Amino acid sequence: MKVRNSLKSLAKRDKNCRIVRRKGRLYVINKVNPRFKARQG
């Protein structure tokens, strides 16, 4: 999992990416290709 400043650019790289808020943090999750996981905050 990567910790990034901007998740929007990361989420656009794959069409299965979703941006999710959990416990005040922003996550990018991808069920199909888990290497796109990222966190912000």
The SS3 of residue 16 is coil
Cite the beta strand spans of 1-41 per DSSP E.
2-3, 18-22, 25-29, 38-40
Give me the pLDDT at residue 30, please. Answer: 92
| Mean pLDDT value of segment 9-17 | 90
Take residue 13 and report the two structure tokens written for it. Answer: 């790289």
pTM of structure: 0.80
Q: Where are the domains of the chain?
A: 2-40
pLDDT tens-place string over residues 16-40: 999 999 999 999 999 999 899 999 9
